[in-house]
Every structure is written in structure tokens, then in C-alpha cells.
């Protein structure tokens, strides 16, 4: 398992994360980084599709509670993550493979660190068993 390099997909809300950063420089540091308009846009289907297409973990970065540009998209996303973790657990996929972080980071300085931390968590879990 030592040569296992986890594949992570990171969705982040453009309103709270990395909007002041040099997008090209930041995306060079983060593989599979998908900035989106509101974390509430991420559906459970898209997370499952990410796993189906080879992701070993999915990280969703949303705005802090009460600070969503669209009222409560971040909270909707958080609830979906908690519900989806139940489905994953019932099917033998570790809930820690989906994580949501609610914070503010306009310069995107924290994103590479968060991705790295989660990558290390996933490395211990091993590849996701989708088939």
C-alpha cells in the first residue's frame, strides 16, 4: 500500500475560498480543485460520481455558518454530507472520505494544507472500494 497516492476532489465555494488568490498558481498546487458558486451546489450524486470515477476522498469547502451568499447553501451542503456519510457507512465506505469544512479563506492559503491533511487521512484508509 506504500505506493498508494490518494486521489482527492476538492470543491470550494468561490464566495469564501481563494477568490483573491492567483487561480492558476493555486490550482497548480491542488489537483482536482473545483471552485464552484456556493457549496450548496454540491449534490450527493456528484460526490458519489466522484468516487465512481476514481476519487478516494471528497473535500467540500463552504462559507462559515450564517455567511452564505445565498442564505443557507453551506448549511444545506453540510446536512447532505452528514446524510451521505450514513449511506456510505452502510455500504462499507468510510464516512471520513467525505469532509466538509466551513470557514473563510479569501487568499486560499489554507486550501493546500487542508487537502494535504485529508490526503493523509485517506492514505491510511487505502483506495476506495467502488466495484
Partner 1 sequence: MVAKPKVAIAWLGSCGGCDEAVVDLNEALLDVTNAVDVIFWPVALDFKYHHLEKMTDGDIVLSIINGHVRNSEQEEVAKLLRKKSKLVLSFGSCACFGGTPGMANFRTKEDIFNWVYRDAPTVVNPQGNYPQVKTKVDGKELTLPAFYEQVYALNQIIDVDYYLPGCPPPPDLIANAVNAVLQGKLPPKGSTLAPHKALCDSCKRNKTKPQKIAIKELKRIHEIEASPDICFLAQGVLCLGLATRDGCGAVCIETNIPCRGCFGPVEGVKDAGAKTIAALASMLDVHSDDEMEKAVNSIDDLAGYLYRFSLPVSTLKKRRV
Residues found near partner 1 in the complex (CB under 8 A): 43-45, 48-49, 51-52, 65, 75-76, 78-80, 82-84, 86-93, 129
Least distance CB 17 / partner 1 (angstroms): 19
Q: How far is the CB of 129 from partner 1 (least distance, A)?
A: 4
* Residue whose C-alpha cell reads 485529508 in the numeric block: 118
The continuous run of DSSP H or E covering 53 comes out as none
Work out how close the CB of 14 gets to partner 1 at its nearest, in angstroms, rounded to a whole number.
Answer: 21
Looking at beta carbons only, is 92 or 113 nearer to partner 1? Answer: 92
* Residue with Cβ nearer partner 1 (48 or 59): 48
Q: What is the helix, strand, coil percentage profile of the chain, to 5?
A: 40, 20, 40
Residue nearer to partner 1 on the CB measure, 78 or 99: 78
Helices (H) and strands (E) in the chain, counts: 4, 4
- Nearest approach in angstroms of CB 115 to partner 1 is 22
Residue 84 or 111: the one with the smaller Cβ distance to partner 1 is 84
How is residue 74 written as a grid cell? 453551506
Amino acid at each position: 500500500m506504500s505506493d498508494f497516492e490518494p486521489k482527492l476532489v476538492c470543491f470550494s465555494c468561490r464566495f469564501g475560498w481563494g477568490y483573491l488568490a492567483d487561480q492558476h498558481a493555486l490550482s497548480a498546487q491542488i489537483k482536482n480543485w473545483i471552485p464552484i458558486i456556493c457549496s450548496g451546489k454540491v449534490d450527493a450524486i456528484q460526490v458519489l460520481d466522484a468516487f465512481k470515477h476514481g476519487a478516494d476522498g471528497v473535500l467540500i469547502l463552504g462559507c462559515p455558518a450564517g455567511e452564505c451568499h445565498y442564505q443557507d447553501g453551506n448549511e444545506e451542503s453540510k446536512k447532505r454530507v452528514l446524510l451521505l456519510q450514513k449511506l456510505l457507512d452502510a455500504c462499507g465506505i468510510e464516512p471520513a472520505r467525505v469532509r466538509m469544512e466551513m470557514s473563510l479563506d479569501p487568499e486560499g492559503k489554507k486550501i493546500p494544507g487542508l487537502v494535504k491533511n485529508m490526503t493523509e487521512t485517506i492514505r491510511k484508509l487505502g483506495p476506495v472500494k467502488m466495484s
